[in-house]
Amino acid sequence: EEDPEEASAAAEEDPEEAEAARTVRARGVYERALRSLKETQSDAKEERVMLLEAWRAFEEAVGSDPDVIGKVEKKMPRRVKRKRPIYTEDGTPAGQEEYYDYIFPEEQGAVPNLKILEAAYKWKRQKTGDDEA
């Protein structure tokens, strides 16, 4: 990354270099913002998605190399539809609601364990259902 003082000196000499320096600084801002959201607010997934979409739009607007745009897109999450139970005020179950969750590439390691756990619960339900029938 470039030093801001060097970037401003470059801006005085050549407008194209100034543009490149601003682009480099802007990428640094996006990277720091993404890191900050990831480290300090791990549950702010929608905010991270919005930041990544803005970053991708920025890279496309400045005419970045497809490799640079690809790096940003690799950080984009996968959108997954999930269900969670809904409870009334007195605590009785009131059905389920569907919601969208985001699975980021760095979180992919936890997903296979969840699938194994879901399969185990399904197997247990089948076994207990067969015993009662």
Structure confidence by residue, pLDDT tens digits, 53-74:
999 999 999 988 899 999 999 9
CB 51 within 8 A of CB 30: yes
Rounded to whole angstroms, what are the CA distances from 55 to 27, 87, 110?
8, 38, 26
| SS3 category, 1 | coil
Whether the predicted pLDDT of 132 surpasses 50: no
Structure confidence by residue, pLDDT tens digits, 81-97:
999 999 999 989 899 99
Q: Give the number of other CB atoms < 10 A from CB of residue 103.
A: 15
Q: Which residues contact 81 (CB under 8 A, 6 or more apart)?
A: 98, 99, 100, 101
Whether the predicted pLDDT of 43 surpasses 50: yes
* Token pair for 29: 């801002």
Q: Give the number of other CB atoms < 10 A from CB of residue 11.
A: 15
What is the rounded (10 degree) CA torsion for 93, 96, 101, 107? 60
pLDDT at position 20 is 87
CB 72 within 8 A of CB 52: yes
pLDDT at position 133 is 41
Whether the predicted pLDDT of 112 surpasses 80: no
Q: State residue 113 phi and psi, 5-degree precision.
A: -65, -35
Mean pLDDT, residues 29-56: 93
Whether the predicted pLDDT of 1 surpasses 50: no
Numbers of helices and strands, H then E, in the chain? 5, 2
* pTM to 2 decimal places: 0.65
23: confidence class by pLDDT, cuts 50, 70, 90: very high
CB 22 within 8 A of CB 8: no
